[in-house]
Every structure is written in structure tokens, then in C-alpha cells.
Amino acid sequence: MIDRTVLKEHLVKWVLVAFALSSLLFLFLIFIFILAEGLPLFLKVGVNKIIFGMKWAPTKGYFGIFPMIISSFLVTIGALIIGAPLGLSCAIYLSEYAGKRTKMLLKPAIELLAGIPSVVFGFLGVIYIVPLVRSYLGGSGFSLISTSLVLGVMILPTIISISFDALVSVPRTYREGSAAMGATKWQTIYKVIIPSAKSGILASFILGMGRAIGETMAVIMIAGNALKIPTSILDPLRTLTGNIALELAYATGDHRLGLFSTGVVLMVIIMILNYVANFGIKRKIAK
């Protein structure tokens, strides 16, 4: 009888190993299939003509996505300009100043904000932000600045929660030491806490960038999706994600392959951002 129990224990263990490996398998499948569809066009048309090509006319053989790469980075930087200071301020307030009751109110509110679907952000952006920009700043309203504003709000929860974790993990002794020197709370935060939480805070900004660059539905509703590099903050633009989402439903042949090539570029950018961010977070923990 003892054999059966032992056998069962072994069986359970191997089933669990298989389950654990499934995540790796899925990751592998996603990589392989996006690469298998996206890489052939790089070989056929040429890496330069895709990544640095200025013209996207996939049915005529032009697969240039350079304007979209630039646009993706522009909205991401725009989102960061809006989201980073606001998010960091919130995180500092939450970790250093807020009392227990305020925290009980603020933290859930921020996490609920993270749960609002991106289509809802996009919709409200179209109804409220776009007309506002159109009437006060000019242009069509579907623009770099509208998109950045909405994305800036959308990345707030990411920035706040990760910066908050970094700030909270600064040892108590640092604060006490600084206070003992007669520093005010703000001097302590500014000169002691923020510098020692620096890598975690940077990681939160980078993960926020990852979130913004990968965001799709809100962007295609607000960005205007024009196929050129924006020259002002009021110009419409099309991001890498937008390009995929707008055309995937009806694309065939090389056109579809071109969208997967766009996906490959997006995947590489996201991988780099995530790698850098994780490096920041891990270093913090190691310290």
C-alpha cells in the first residue's frame, strides 16, 4: 500500500512541474508565432526599409514603420511627462504623509482606477479631451497631446504602486537618522528617501512607459491615426499598436505579415523596457 501513496506523491509532483512549465511554453509559443509571421518580411523587404522606411502602403509594397516607432515613443514620453510627476507625488504622499484613514481611501481608489478598461478611457478621451483640445489649442483635437493626457492618467496606477513599494521599503533608520539631524520631513524625503528609492522609482517610470507604449484601444480612439511623424503636439499620429489594431481584421498576405513585423518591433521594445525595469527592481531588493 505504501507504494500507492508514494506513487501518488510522485504523480502530483510531475503534474505540478508540467503546470509550471506551461507558462514558459506559452511564452515560447507567443514568441515563435509572432516571429515566424513577422520576420519573413524583414528578410524579403529589408530591415532598413521597414524600420527606417517612411511610407506605409502595404498593398503597394511599402512597409515603412519609422513614423509609428517615433509616434509610439512620443506618446509614451508625453504620458510620462504627465504621469510621472503626478504619480510620484501621490506615492510620496501615500508613503510619507498620509494617515491610516487617508491611505484606506486612496489605495483602493488608485487600484480601482487601474481596473477601468482602456476602451472607457478612450471613449471619455474622445468625448471630453479631444473637443477641449480642439477648442482651446486648435487642430482636430485628435492629437499627440490628447493621447498623452489620457495615457498619462492610465499609467498612474502602475507608477504609484511601484514607487510606493520602493519608498516604503526604505529602512526606518534612514528616516530617524535624518530627523535626528534636525531635517524637516520634506528635507528627509528629498535628500534621503528619494535618493535611496531611486532605482525602484525609475523602474516604475519604465514600467509605466511599457504600459503606455503597449496601450492600444484608447490610443486608436484618440490619436487620429495619421501616417506621418507629428511635427507639433496638435498633430494626429499612429502608434505601432494602433497600426496593428486598425488593420489586422481585414489584412491578408504581405499586408498581414507587415502587421506582424510591426508586432515584432513592439515586442522587442517591450522586452527591453521590461528587462531594464526588472533590473532596477531586483537591484533594489539586493540592496
CB atoms within 10 A of CB 155: 27
Q: Which of 39, 51, 70, 113 binds other proteins (CB under 8 A)?
A: 113
168 binds other proteins (CB under 8 A): no
> Would you say 17 or 43 has its CB closer to other proteins?
17
Q: Which of 66, 73, 123, 279 binds other proteins (CB under 8 A)?
A: 123
> Would you say 143 or 216 has its CB closer to other proteins?
216
> Would you say 48 or 102 has its CB closer to other proteins?
102
Q: Which of 64, 164, 267, 284 binds other proteins (CB under 8 A)?
A: 267
64 binds other proteins (CB under 8 A): no
Q: Which of 70, 98, 227, 233 binds other proteins (CB under 8 A)?
A: 98
Beta-bridge partner residues of 224: 237
**CB-count burial class (<10 Å; 0-12, 13-18, 19+) for 24:** exposed
- Cβ-contact 213, 277 below 8 angstroms: no
> Would you say 43 or 231 has its CB closer to other proteins?
43
Q: Which of 115, 171, 250, 285 binds other proteins (CB under 8 A)?
A: 115
Q: Smallest gap, in angstroms, from Cβ of residue 138 to other proteins? A: 23
Query: Under rule CB under 8 A, which residues in 67-86 are in contact with other proteins?
Result: 86
Q: What is the DSSP letter of 62?
A: E
> Would you say 105 or 138 has its CB closer to other proteins?
105
191 binds other proteins (CB under 8 A): no
Nearest-CA neighbor of 202 among 106, 148, 110, 282? 282
Strands (E) in the chain, as ranges, are: 56-57, 62-63
Stretch that binds other proteins, among 45-53, 60-68, 224-232, 240-248 (CB under 8 A): 240-248
Nearest-CA neighbor of 76 among 126, 25, 151, 146? 151
106 binds other proteins (CB under 8 A): yes
Q: At what angle do helices 253-286 and 198-214 cross, to 10 degrees?
A: 170
Q: Which of 155, 192, 237, 266 binds other proteins (CB under 8 A)?
A: 266
Q: Which of 69, 82, 144, 153 binds other proteins (CB under 8 A)?
A: 153
- Cβ-contact 218, 150 below 8 angstroms: yes
Cα–Cα distance for residue pair 22/250, rounded to 1 Å: 32
Q: Smallest gap, in angstroms, from Cβ of residue 7 to other proteins? A: 11
94 binds other proteins (CB under 8 A): yes
Cα–Cα distance for residue pair 84/78, rounded to 1 Å: 10
Stretch that binds other proteins, among 57-65, 165-173, 197-205, 260-268 (CB under 8 A): 260-268
- Cβ-contact 145, 82 below 8 angstroms: no
Q: Which of 1, 43, 180, 249 binds other proteins (CB under 8 A)?
A: 249
Long-range contacts of 248-255 (CB under 8 A, 24+ apart): 251/58, 254/41, 254/44, 254/58, 254/61, 254/63, 255/58, 255/59
181 binds other proteins (CB under 8 A): no
Stretch that binds other proteins, among 25-33, 129-137, 167-175, 191-199 (CB under 8 A): 25-33
